[in-house]
Amino acid sequence: MNVSVIIPIFNPDRNVLKKLIQAVKEQKFNGKIEILKIEENMGFAKQINLGVKKSKYEIVVELPQDCIPANKYWLKNLVEPFENKKVIASVSKIRLPDFIWKNLSIFAKAANIKEKGVITSLLDGKGGAYRKSILKSVNYFDEKTFKTGGEDLDLYMKIKNKGLIAYPKAEILHYHPTTYIKRLKKTRQYANGGGTIFRIYGLRMRGWHSFLIKAIPIFGIVATIFSFPFNKKETKLFPVYILSSFLDHFYYLYGFWKGFLSGKQTI
C-alpha cells in the first residue's frame, strides 16, 4: 500500500521540521511514501486540500509541521487498518513530549493540563490518515468556512456514517512548546471553530452540551473548573488551574460567539 504524506508548513521551527521529514523517511513501511510539503500561506484547511489534490496515492496522511512520528512503525500501524475496505480514516494518538511539559511555566502547565500525556480525538489532523476518495466525496475539508481550526471535527461529522474510523496504536509527538498567553490564544482559536461547528450542526454534535455550557457567561467558568483532569496526576496545579480558568473563559466566550454569529472560523 502506497501513501502520500502531506505536511502543511507556515513559519516552522526548521529543526523540528527537519526531524519530522527524516522520521517519515525512516519509517519501516512496506510501500512507497510520497512527501508533499505545502508551504503556500493560505490557511491550514486550504493547504491540506491542495496537498490532497496533488497527491499520487489513495491513502493520504495529514502531518503538521510540529508533529513527529513517535517511532519507526507509526506509519505502518496507522495505515494497516485500511486493509479493511470499510475503513475510511485512521487516527493517530497524540503525545506532548515530557521535556516540553517540564519546561512549561506553571500557568502554561495549568492551561495545557488536558494535553499532558497521550490523547486520542475523534478525528484529528495531527497524524490523521484518510482515503482520498472519501475526502473527494464530501468536497474535501471545508476551506471556505474553516481557516485554521475546526475543519477536522467538521469532516468527522460529514464522514462518520460513511464507513469505519480506526484508532490504532500509532502515535505522534506534538512538539508544541508554548506560553500561557499563547495557550489562551489557542483557546480562542479552538472556540472560534467550535462556535462555527455548533452553528452548523447544533444538537447533532457529539458532546454539544460541553461546547454550549462553556459558552455561557459564568457557568462556563464552573464547567471548566469541574472538568479538571485529576487522572493526569497533577493535582498540585488545581489552584492555578482555577485562577487561569477566568481568563480562559473570557477568551473562549469571544472565540465561540464570534464563530457562532459569523458562521465562519476566522481566528
* 96-137 pLDDT per residue, tens: 999 999 999 999 999 999 999 999 999 988 999 999 999 999
Q: Which three cell numbers stand for residue 92?
A: 493517530
pLDDT value at residue 95: 95
Q: What pLDDT shows up at residue 211?
A: 87
pLDDT digits (tens, 9 = 90+) for 192-245: 999 999 999 999 988 888 889 999 999 999 999 999 999 999 999 999 999 999
pLDDT of residue 42: 87
Averaged pLDDT score across all residues of the chain: 95
**With 0-12 CB in 10 A as exposed, 13-18 as middle and 19+ as buried, what is 133?**
exposed
| 126 three-class SS | coil
Cell matching residue 133: 476518495
3-state SS, one letter per residue, for 9-58: CCCCCHHHHHHHHHHHHCCCCCCCEEEEEECCCCCHHHHHHHHHHHCCCC
Kindly indicate the confidence band of residue 14, based on its pLDDT and cuts at 50, 70 and 90.
very high
Q: CA-to-CA distance for 93 and 74, rounded, in angstroms? A: 10
pLDDT digits (tens, 9 = 90+) for 134-148: 999 999 999 999 988
Tell me, what's the pLDDT at 69? 97
pLDDT of residue 148: 87
pLDDT at 207: 83
pLDDT at 25 over 90: yes
Compute the residue count for the chain: 267
Q: Where in the chain is the domain with CATH 3.90.550.10?
A: 1-177
The predicted model gives 35-62 an average pLDDT of: 95
For position 205, what pLDDT does the model report?
87
Topology given in CATH for the domain delimited by 1-177: Spore Coat Polysaccharide Biosynthesis Protein SpsA; Chain A (3.90.550)
pLDDT for residue 215: 94
Question: What are the pLDDT digits (tens) for 239-262?
Answer: 999 999 999 999 999 999 999 999
Residue 40: pLDDT above 90?
no
Categorize the per-residue pLDDT at 165 as very low, low, confident or very high, splitting at 50, 70 and 90: very high
